[in-house]
A and B are shown apart, each in its own frame.
Chain A
Amino acid sequence: MVTHYDNTAPQTLWLSIYLPMLPVEVFTRGLKPEDTSRPIVILAQRKVRFLNPAAHARGINIGSSLDTAFTLSSQVVSFERNEQKEFSTLSHLAQWTYQFTPNVSIRAPDCLLLDISGCLKLFGGLENLKSRIQQGLTKQGYESVLTTNMTPMAALCLATSNRKQQVEKDNTGTDENGSCVAYVTKSLESLPVDCLQVDKKIIESLQQMGIADCKALFALPQSGLNRRFGIYFVDYLQRLLGEKPDPQKFINPEPKFVNDVTFLADINNTASLRFPINRLISELAEFLTARQLATNHLSWSLSHRSHGDRNFNILLANPVNEHDMFMSLTLLKLEQINDVKEIDNLSLAVNNLFPAVNISGDLFHGTPFQQNNSVKGQQQQTDMLLNKLRTRLGPGSCYGLSAANDHRPEKAWKPVRLDQKDYWQPDQIGMTSIPQPARPMMLLSQPKPLPGTCSFSSAGNVTGGASVKTPFQLSSFHSPTRKAKHQLTLLKGPERIDFGWWDEDDLSKVITRDYYVATINNQGSLLWIFQYSNDKRWYLHGIFS
């Protein structure tokens, strides 16, 4: 029984993405379509280096000066070439292509190399993968040229040379001949020598020698090339053809998201930011989905080249990955901002990333057997209201209530932060069966002294002595001018509460309060008042609403 082993070496397939208009697109990608019809030029050393199709249509050429450009068209918008921004955009796009393959290499200034040998099956073939990548890039506003080959350098050469025509030799990655060199040689034959990524001087020498295209170059003996041009050129050729392995340095997936949009004209009102905000949030949502992450903190920054930045943050109660919620909360916060004069750049940064929580859906959703309250829907709705309140009123404005482990009345409750949810429950179950004395539904934040000598009648007996009826205002809806005179009747009590007797050595110094339930005669209001046992002052502490 003869078993056939696969003798061919593992075939590698490299995809190169070339972004020909990157210097222009870093400035124009966030614009609405009507704005891109304006001619835009990128300058370096006061000469035009890159231009967009509209500028080209008006007759501006690469190498002309800025004055020429303005003469040809008065609407020209010019930017200085921002290489740092290009590099950061390229890194951002490299992170974006991470969803297709983990092996992504950045080739400055305007190319990305992807090793797609392993991902063809997942994405349904080379064509599907390429169209997905191209569509994704176009959606973000970048024009791209995609080429494949079996060595990275070859893919790069093909990409950078094919600016206008699409020379594709489609290959699913396997070559029956088993020879990578032969394939690469064949595919690069017709290319001119100046598309090789080597020193300009070497290319000039080759052209002067009469070697115009790669076919002739590959026919030359390598020892001769070595003597003439040095070992680095030969090494490059060997890596190009696949004779030598060419390991690339791959990126690491970065745990943060930073993206921004530049505007051509300064924007004065925040209402027109809706479109770019939507765009940035869509990209964020895709980023989070691809990595299965969620976030609870968005940092927005509105900046202008001459003013400082205006930053605002959106904080959510729980990490989520929801486009609608980010959008509505951002717009809500934006309404409150009205001190920004002009903006020419909008950026979004997200650093707090958490693993996404997967809520399993109901298997019987939509059938008669489905559960009544779907947990996911409930949670989403709950978060939305809470997030809206926190966004508009400030993160610390909403709080919950909890009992606390203290017998002193004002400390027997505590506010609870809703993202921490530290509710306190009494530990011993048996304790809750003891009937607790009545507590008022509402507590005053500070006990309010009852004025002067308020008169009290204890309902259990008759008070003797003069009762001085002094005015005592309870917060009701009285008009402030009408001073009502109240007489309080004590009903239940006293309930003695000692404060911190363990802190004091001398028991006479300990604060002790005697609490009573009192009612205001003729009104029916029930109050919770107390008297200090040492100096006999009376205070109002709670109201039985």
Chain B
Amino acid sequence: MAQKQPYDLDKTLQKAGMWRASHMHAGFQPEQKQGTPTGFNILDEQLSGSGWPTDGITELLYEHAGIGEIRLLAPALANLSQQKAGWILWISPPYIPYAPALIAAGIDLTSILVINPKNQTDSLWAMEQALASTSCCAVLAWPKNINDKQVRRLQVASKSGKSLGILFRSIQSVKQASPAELRIELTGNSYSPLVEHSSLDMKIVKRRGGWPTEKFTIDFDDKLHQITPDFSEMAFRNPHKPAPDLVFVDRQSSQDRYGYPLR
């Protein structure tokens, strides 16, 4: 009787068509489209295509405004606008996009187009047209309510154009199933005294070619958490209290050494 061959795992793994979750960037996907680089290495590694997907919808889910949801996109938008790749369309932003800040982020303003449609139908129509058109390179939309059928339509439209499609939605929608290609949950990082730059916590809920990830942090290259110490108060109120940058902060505790609450 012939001896049974032991099962050869290596052979099986080398077969074409075998997908391993740990090898997300393996080249077996022939139609893998190159994404737009996000500007943050730690995020690029996690995304298939090494960047924001240009043939699908990205959903950014967050609860509070101001945590850095647009600052996250700023490097990619700056690159696209400098290359004059097309329009960057803002659909019904909740506030006014502020031109000096966009210039400071490196975005060329001649590519920007802002529209404020009066009803939801027009917004969805505009987004669909922009995603399908080749003259648009990014669409940012803040839809009030959008259901998964509408997201599917947008997803289909984005396959024919080359633009990023970004929807900003509430973190409550993470419970809804959505056909978007990439879904990321964003939470802000509170200020902490020793850190000068702001940062953002991200958790990828859904991505192409990989499982959901744990939370990881993106550090912004700015000085928004830099403190201006109040010398007048310090000098005259409590002369025995040392300067703030010498305060040792125990991150685990909720109070600092002197008994004042940290967070």
Binding site for B on A (CB under 8 A): 378, 381-382, 384-386, 388-389, 392-393, 397-404, 412-415, 418, 421, 423, 436, 438-445, 458-462, 464, 474-478, 489, 491-494, 517, 519-527, 542-545
Instruction: Give bound CA distance, A493 to B227, whole Å.
Output: 8
**Is there an interface contact between B191 and A519, defined as CB atoms closer than 8 Å?**
yes
B134 at the A interface (CB under 8 A): yes
**Contact A461 to B191, CB < 8 A, known contacts A403-B99, A444-B96, A477-B63:** no
Instruction: Give bound CA distance, A404 to B103, whole Å.
Output: 12
B66 at the A interface (CB under 8 A): yes
User: Which chain A residues lie closer than 8 Å to B228 at the CB level?
Assistant: 460, 491-494
Among A382, A388, A397, A520, point to the contact of B129 (Cβ < 8 A).
A388
**Contact A441 to B102, CB < 8 A, known contacts A392-B122, A418-B113:** yes
**Is there an interface contact between A382 and B227, defined as CB atoms closer than 8 Å?**
no
B225 at the A interface (CB under 8 A): yes
Contact with A along B234-263 (1 / 0, CB 8 A): 100110010010000000000000101001
Among B114, B125, B190, point to the contact of A521 (Cβ < 8 A).
B190
**Is there an interface contact between B126 and A389, defined as CB atoms closer than 8 Å?**
yes
B188 at the A interface (CB under 8 A): yes
**Is there an interface contact between B115 and A397, defined as CB atoms closer than 8 Å?**
yes
B229 at the A interface (CB under 8 A): yes
**Is there an interface contact between B65 and A525, defined as CB atoms closer than 8 Å?**
yes
Among A397, A459, A464, point to the contact of B227 (Cβ < 8 A).
A459
**Is there an interface contact between A523 and B71, defined as CB atoms closer than 8 Å?**
no
**Contact A385 to B135, CB < 8 A, known contacts A519-B225, A521-B190:** yes
User: Which chain B residues lie closer than 8 Å to A382 at the CB level?
Assistant: 86-87, 135
B48 to chain A, nearest CB (A): 26
**Is there an interface contact between B226 and A475, defined as CB atoms closer than 8 Å?**
no
In the complex, residue of chain B having the shortest beta-carbon distance to the beta carbon of A373: B84
B69 at the A interface (CB under 8 A): yes
Instruction: Give bound CA distance, A545 to B186, whole Å.
Output: 12
In order of increasing CB-CB distance, the 4 nearest A-B pairs are: A524-B188, A525-B66, A477-B170, A460-B229
In the complex, residue of chain A having the shortest beta-carbon distance to the beta carbon of B114: A399
User: Which chain A residues lie closer than 8 Å to B95 at the CB level?
Assistant: 442-445, 475, 542-543, 545
Known: A393-B126, A412-B99, A475-B95. 19 other contacts (CB 8 A): A382-B86, A384-B133, A389-B126, A392-B125, A393-B115, A399-B114, A413-B100, A423-B109, A438-B101, A441-B105, A442-B93, A442-B97, A445-B96, A524-B64, A524-B187, A524-B189, A525-B67, A526-B66, A545-B95
**Is there an interface contact between A461 and B229, defined as CB atoms closer than 8 Å?**
yes
User: Which chain A residues lie closer than 8 Å to B241 at the CB level?
Assistant: 461-462
**Is there an interface contact between A440 and B101, defined as CB atoms closer than 8 Å?**
yes
**Is there an interface contact between B109 and A476, defined as CB atoms closer than 8 Å?**
no
**Is there an interface contact between A386 and B113, defined as CB atoms closer than 8 Å?**
yes
Instruction: Give bound CA distance, A522 to B67, whole Å.
Output: 11
**Is there an interface contact between A438 and B135, defined as CB atoms closer than 8 Å?**
no
**Contact A460 to B125, CB < 8 A, known contacts A386-B113, A401-B114, A524-B64:** no
Binding site for A on B (CB under 8 A): 62-71, 74, 86-87, 93-105, 109-110, 112-118, 122, 125-126, 129-130, 133-136, 169-172, 187-191, 193, 198, 200, 222-231, 233-234, 237-238, 241, 244, 258, 260, 263
Instruction: Give bound CA distance, A413 to B133, whole Å.
Output: 28
Which of A423, A445, A526, A545 is the most central at the interface, judged by chain B CB atoms within 10 Å of its CB? A545
**Is there an interface contact between B104 and A439, defined as CB atoms closer than 8 Å?**
yes
User: Which chain A residues lie closer than 8 Å to B117 at the CB level?
Assistant: 393, 397
Which of B115, B187, B238, B263 is the most central at the interface, judged by chain A CB atoms within 10 Å of its CB? B115
Among B102, B115, B122, B190, point to the contact of A519 (Cβ < 8 A).
B190
Instruction: Give bound CA distance, A488 to B139, whole Å.
Output: 32
User: Which chain A residues lie closer than 8 Å to B260 at the CB level?
Assistant: 462
**Contact A474 to B66, CB < 8 A, known contacts A382-B135, A392-B122, A524-B191:** yes
User: Which chain B residues lie closer than 8 Å to A489 at the CB level?
Assistant: 191
Could you write out 26 A-B pairs with CB less than 8 Å apart?
Answer: A384-B133, A385-B130, A386-B87, A392-B126, A393-B115, A393-B122, A400-B109, A400-B114, A413-B99, A439-B98, A439-B100, A441-B74, A442-B94, A460-B229, A460-B234, A462-B238, A477-B169, A477-B171, A519-B191, A521-B190, A523-B66, A523-B67, A524-B67, A525-B64, A544-B66, A544-B198
In the complex, residue of chain A having the shortest beta-carbon distance to the beta carbon of B234: A461
In the complex, residue of chain A having the shortest beta-carbon distance to the beta carbon of B262: A521
Instruction: Give bound CA distance, A443 to B101, whole Å.
Output: 10
In the complex, residue of chain A having the shortest beta-carbon distance to the beta carbon of B231: A460
User: Which chain B residues lie closer than 8 Å to A402 at the CB level?
Assistant: 99, 109
A400 to chain B, nearest CB (A): 6
Among B66, B102, B112, B233, point to the contact of A543 (Cβ < 8 A).
B66
Which of B100, B136, B224, B244 is the most central at the interface, judged by chain A CB atoms within 10 Å of its CB? B100
In the complex, residue of chain B having the shortest beta-carbon distance to the beta carbon of A491: B227
User: Which chain A residues lie closer than 8 Å to B98 at the CB level?
Assistant: 413, 439-443, 542
Which of B169, B187, B224 is the most central at the interface, judged by chain A CB atoms within 10 Å of its CB? B224
Instruction: Give bound CA distance, A92 to B230, whole Å.
Output: 80
User: Which chain A residues lie closer than 8 Å to B169 at the CB level?
Assistant: 477
User: Which chain A residues lie closer than 8 Å to B105 at the CB level?
Assistant: 441
A372 to chain B, nearest CB (A): 12
A417 to chain B, nearest CB (A): 12
User: Which chain A residues lie closer than 8 Å to B109 at the CB level?
Assistant: 400-403, 423
